[in-house]
Every structure is written in structure tokens, then in C-alpha cells.
Amino acid sequence: MPFDPIELARITEEIVCDGEKRKYYRFRYTGFYGGSATADVVGCNLRCVYCWSWKYVSNPEKYGRFYSPREVVNILNHMLRKHGGIARLTGGEPTICFRHLLEVMDGVEGEFVLETNGILLDEEKVRELSNYDHIFVRVSLKGVDRESFERVTGAKGEYFDKQIEALKLLAKYGVPARPAILFNLFPKEKLVELQRMLLRISPRYVLELEPFSNYGGALERLRRAGLHLHSLEEYL
């Protein structure tokens, strides 16, 4: 039975947020974006079958520990001073514990990439994000339409519209953003339709195409969900 991701976000917040603190399970420096100081959060409001951090997403009460915004900022800034690059939160849904997120962004030195599914980004939150001139928002789309979104995430298909609405709000308030999608789950013609729709929202919204990677048993979960990967040759 498809679930309500807004309600799951509320339940998850009770587990992974404690006042100003939030749960994280890892801090690391990675090669993404040309080098990034990365904090992996615990907790998400979706259950994507291909999720590379599935065990942390599906068991938020079991993993990680609480960090204050200042502790997170100190760790990220230490990595940035040592290696350069940008800072980012990933691994779950960073917009859960939103006040914590804002405090982290307040303290990070340099560019900050917010990786999100966008579902919790209502107009008030996007307006707050627009106050930051050092952030970039990467909205990870979980389908090409309502049906595919529901099959991939387990959430009600209507919440695909929330992802699109988030991109509209980010464009409205001038927040730099880009849509991304794990493309080889979807037919080429559906991706083309999605791209056309996104360009009507903003000429800057060119899809970032991410290929599938079999992290943490993702391929087996795809099979159980009745999903299959398209050959890369289909997109040439």
C-alpha cells in the first residue's frame, strides 16, 4: 500500500531530530562535484528501491548519532580547509530537521550543495533558502510521472507533483537548482517528455542523468519491485 511521504517525514523527524541536533552516520571527503566535504544524514521520507544507503534509510532508529549544527559545521569546514571543494549533505533527506539544516548552511565556508527529493520544500522553506547566496539545490526526481514515482519510492504517486512544484518554487525565488534522475530505469521517450516539461519551467533545468549502481543489494530490490534496467544503447 503506497504511503504518505509527508507523514513518514513527520515520523522520521521524531527519530532523527532532537532539538537543534540531528542524526548522522558518516562524515567523509568524496570526489563528487570535483571534491566535496560530505555529511551523511540518517532519515528519509521515501523508500526508493535503488537507494544506496538503504539500511540507514530503512532503520533510522538503529544507526547514527546526534550532532549539533556547530559540530557538523566544524567537521565540514575542517575538511574544506584541508582539501577545498564544496560541502554537501546526502545519504537521506536533509530537509528533515529543517532548522538544523539552515544552521549548518549558516556556518559552512564556501559553496554548499543541498541534495533533496524536494517533497518537503514548500514556499516558506524555499523563500528561506533564497536568503543564501552560496547554495545550490540538486533535486533528485524519482520517476518520470506519478506511476513510475510510486513504483520506485513506495510513496503515493501524487507526490511526484510535489517534486515538480519544488522545482517551480526554486525557479520562482531564483535559487540555483538542477533536476537529476537515475535515467536507465525509464524509457527514453518518457525522459524526453519529462525534459520538455522541465524546460518549460526553466531553461536552466537540463536533466542530470545518473546511471544505476548496484549498491547495497539495489538490483535485487529492483527485481522484487518488478522494475528493470534499460540497456544504455537505447539512449544513444
CATH number at residue 56: 3.20.20.70
The count of domains in the chain is: 1
Q: What is the pLDDT of the chain when averaged over all its residues?
A: 96
- Element holding 223 (H helix, E strand): helix 218-224
Q: Which residue did the predictor score with more confidence, 191 or 214? A: 191
Q: How far is CA 138 from CA 2, 18, 33, 163, 164, in A?
A: 25, 26, 11, 11, 13
Per DSSP, the residues of 91-104 read SS-TTSSHHHHHHH
Q: How confident is the model at residue 159 (pLDDT cuts 50, 70, 90)?
A: very high
Provide, rounded to the nearest whole percent, the portion of the chain with pLDDT above 70: 100
pLDDT of residue 115: 97
Tell me what the mean pLDDT of segment 196-204 comes to. Answer: 98
| Residue 199 backbone class (left: φ over 0; alpha: ψ -120 to 50; beta: rest) | alpha
Tell me what the mean pLDDT of segment 159-183 comes to. Answer: 98
pLDDT above 90: residue 223: no
pLDDT above 80: residue 236: no
Q: How confident is the model at residue 206 (pLDDT cuts 50, 70, 90)?
A: very high
Side-chain-facing half-sphere of 89: CA atoms under 13 Å: 29
Tracing cell 528493470 back to the chain, one arrives at 228
pLDDT of residue 235: 85
Residue 27, classed as helix, strand or coil, is strand
Is the Cβ–Cβ distance between 135 and 113 less than 8 Å? yes
> What value, to the nearest 5°, has the Cα angle with vertex 161 and ends 128 and 14?
55
Residue range 109-150, pLDDT digits in tens: 999 999 999 999 999 999 999 999 999 999 999 999 999 999
Q: Which of 127, 115, 90, 111 is nearest to 215 (CA)?
A: 90
Residue 112 in grid coordinates: 554548499
pLDDT of residue 193: 97
pLDDT above 90: residue 9: yes
Range of the domain at 191: 5-235
10 Å CB burial of residue 166 (0-12, 13-18, 19+) is: buried
Q: Which of 202, 193, 146 is nearest to 169 (CA)?
A: 202
pLDDT of residue 8: 98
